[in-house]
Amino acid sequence: MSNRVLSTGSQLPVFKKKAVVSLEKGKEFAEITHEFASAKGKWTVLFWWPKDFTFVCPTEIAEFNKKNSEFSDRDAVVIGASTDSEFVHLAWRKDHSDLRDLKFPMLADTSKSLAEELGILDADEKVAYRATFIIDPHGIIRWVSVYDLNVGRNVQEVVRVLDALQTDELCPCNWKKGEETLTAQLSLN
C-alpha cells in the first residue's frame, strides 16, 4: 500500500468501478470511470467515507447531496465512494432516509485498489480515510483534503475551494466567491 496521498498536480488514476446511481428497480447500478466528468468538460469532486451504516458518514453524504446543485452550478460532478460493495451501498440508501434521494453516484471500491492508488487506505482498518479530491476537467487533482476517520468534513469549504480554483487567480485567506482576488505586483527595488 502506498503511504503517500496523491496530491495536487497528480493525474487521477485510471479506474472503472460499479456504483449505485438509483433506487429504481433494474436501474440501480452503473459503471463509473475516471473520465466520468472530464469527458463532459466538468470538474469532479470525489469524496470518500470509511464505512456504510456508520454515524458520521451519512451526515457528510447528506450534506454533499444538499449542496449538489451548488456543485452542478459550478460545472462540477460529485462522486461519493467507499470500499463497501455496491450492494451494501444500495441497502444503506434504502435503509437511511437521508440517503434515498441522492443525486450523485456511490462508487464501490471493493478491491480497495483506487483507495490504495490515491494513498487514502488506512493500513489497519483497510478502509478509506475521509478524503476529498477536486479534479479539474483534464483529470488533474487540484485540491486534496484528508481527515481522521472520526471527524466529519466541512462541505461548504469544498464549495469555497472549488470557487477559488475556478477563478484561476490569486485568492487570499478566507476568500469567498464574489470577493476581490489579488493582483501580484513585482517590485524592481
CATH number of residue 92's parent domain: 3.40.30.10
Which three cell numbers mark 93?
440508501
Q: Tell me whether residue 172 is in a domain.
A: no
Spatial CA neighbour of 46 closest among 4, 88, 17, 24: 17
Report pLDDT for 187. Answer: 62
Residue 134 inside a domain? The answer is yes
* Stretch 123-144: mean pLDDT: 95
User: Is it the case that residue 23 has pLDDT exceeding 80?
Assistant: yes
Considering the domain boundaries, does residue 180 fall inside one? no
- Assess if residue 188 is contained within a domain: no
Helices H, strands E: what count in the chain? Answer: 5, 7
Is residue 173 among the annotated active site residues?
no
Domain extent at residue 80: 16-167
Q: Is position 42 within any domain?
A: yes
The 10 Å CB-count burial string (b at 16+, else e) for 79-94 is bbbbbbebebbbebbe
Specify if 102 maps to a domain. Answer: yes
- Active-site residue identified among 57, 76, 115, 161: 57
Tens digit of each residue's pLDDT (9 = 90 or more) over 74-121: 999 999 999 999 999 999 999 998 888 999 999 999 999 999 999 999
Kindly report the number of other CB atoms within 10 A of residue 17's CB atom.
21
Give pLDDT tens digits for 33-53: 998 888 789 999 999 999 988
Task: Kindly tell me if the per-residue pLDDT of 186 is higher than 80.
Answer: no
Nearest CA to 135 out of 3, 16, 41 is that of 41
pLDDT in tens, 134-156: 999 999 999 999 998 888 899 99
Domain assignment present for 148: yes
Q: Does the residue 109 lie in any domain?
A: yes
Is residue 1 scored above 50 in pLDDT? no
Number of domains in the chain: 1
pTM: 0.91
C-alpha cell read off for 67: 449542496
